[in-house]
């Protein structure tokens, strides 16, 4: 029997960078707070907890004073930085560079759309930490769409600027793009007033075709993931390539 590990498996570089920053900081600090789970992997969260990393939510952040707080790879909205200034918090910013670039693009687009009554639309998961950070660049005026069912929130007679959460599927983004174009045409609008920006991280999106190839080369796939990890799409890729009864689905304990 031959056992192989997919060379493309594991965390993306943004998450690896955040974990490294946390470990480096904890070598000098007895305790470090992190706004949300640093990674969707309970075993890794527990390992870092033993080193002194404490997970807090946004409500707890408001009560925290004179402490160090790590911003994970997902990024944060402007409100978080404002709270840090008010509460004398030192931020260890591990925001992914890809996410920061997207936040800047969204803010610039939002400031520009005010002059012509445009709308910022984000293709992403409602309540996801990255989406919260992106929407914060628009004073939370951005319209978040997860599927076609959400498109009724958009006024198709007004200009639309579309962005995507960096970890969404490329196929899903272009499906939403096509649906918006169709709705604009039906509303009598002009496609010249529609600006679609593919802001998906290719390190993440390229995993799908790479995993499809890997799955096709093996008889059994053992897919290891945390319960909170957004890996259902990748798991489905495996399921399409091998017999369902040959698939093992293993998650670490909470």
Known catalytic residues?
Answer: 130
Contacts 24+ apart (CB under 8 A), 48-57: 48/19, 48/22, 48/23, 51/23, 51/26, 52/26, 53/22, 53/26
Alpha helices in 158-199 (DSSP H): 170-186
Beta bridge partners of 40: none
Burial of 180 (0-12, 13-18, 19+ CB in 10 A): buried
Distance of CA 15 to the CA centre of its chain: 11
The structure tokens 């991280």 sit at: 201
How many angstroms separate the CA atoms of 184 and 232, rounded? 31
Three-state DSSP class for residue 41: coil
């Amino acid at each position: 029997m031959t056992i192989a590990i997919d060379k493309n498996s594991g965390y993306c570089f943004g998450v690896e960078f955040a974990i490294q920053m946390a470990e480096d900081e904890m070598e000098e600090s007895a305790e470090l707070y992190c706004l949300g789970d640093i990674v969707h992997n309970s075993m890794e969260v527990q390992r870092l907890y033993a080193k002194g990393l404490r997970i807090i939510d946004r409500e707890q952040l408001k009560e925290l004073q004179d402490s160090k707080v790590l911003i994970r790879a997902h990024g944060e909205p402007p409100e978080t930085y404002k709270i840090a200034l008010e509460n004398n918090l030192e931020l260890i910013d591990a925001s992914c560079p890809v996410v920061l670039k997207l936040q800047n693009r969204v803010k610039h687009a939002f400031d520009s759309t005010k002059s012509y009554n445009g709308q910022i639309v984000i293709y992403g998961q409602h309540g996801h930490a990255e989406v919260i950070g992106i929407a914060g660049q628009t004073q939370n005026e951005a319209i978040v769409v997860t599927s076609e069912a959400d498109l009724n929130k958009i006024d198709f007679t007004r200009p639309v600027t579309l962005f995507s959460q960096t970890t969404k599927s490329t196929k899903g983004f272009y499906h939403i793009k096509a649906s918006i174009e169709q709705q604009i045409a039906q509303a009598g609008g002009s496609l010249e007033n529609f600006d679609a920006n593919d802001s998906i991280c290719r390190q993440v999106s390229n995993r799908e075709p790479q995993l499809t190839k890997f799955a096709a080369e093996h008889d059994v796939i053992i897919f290891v993931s945390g319960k909170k990890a957004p890996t259902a799409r990748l798991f489905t890729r495996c399921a399409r390539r091998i017999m369902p009864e040959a698939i093992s689905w293993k998650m670490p304990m909470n």
